[in-house]
Amino acid sequence: PYTVYKIEVTRDVDAWIIYRRYSQFHALYTELKSSFGAEIKQCGDFPPKQVRNSFLPPFIGLLPAILHEIFFV
């Protein structure tokens, strides 16, 4: 089993819903950081993957909030 994160992105009247696994968001972050490192908000490292307890609500709710800080603030 694995967790799939649902991220809702809106811009003006457009909206998208994206479903991805942790590894896919981590790959995106790594690629963006290598290409646009200076332009990405400096908010620390991507959160580590936690195999143990990764299905508990506190961990599942943590990643979307961190992604918002990294990509949208």
27 or 49, which is more confident: 27
Question: Would the pLDDT of 47 be above 80?
Answer: no
**Per-residue pLDDT, 15:** 92
**Per-residue pLDDT, 56:** 60
Residue 59's pLDDT band (cuts 50, 70, 90): low
Burial (Cβ within 10 Å: 0-12, 13-18, ≥19) of residue 25: buried
Pairwise CA distance, residues 32 & 35, whole Å = 5
CB-facing half-sphere around the CA of 73: CA atoms within 13 A: 9
Residue 61's pLDDT band (cuts 50, 70, 90): low
Burial (Cβ within 10 Å: 0-12, 13-18, ≥19) of residue 51: exposed
Pairwise CA distance, residues 6 & 37, whole Å = 25
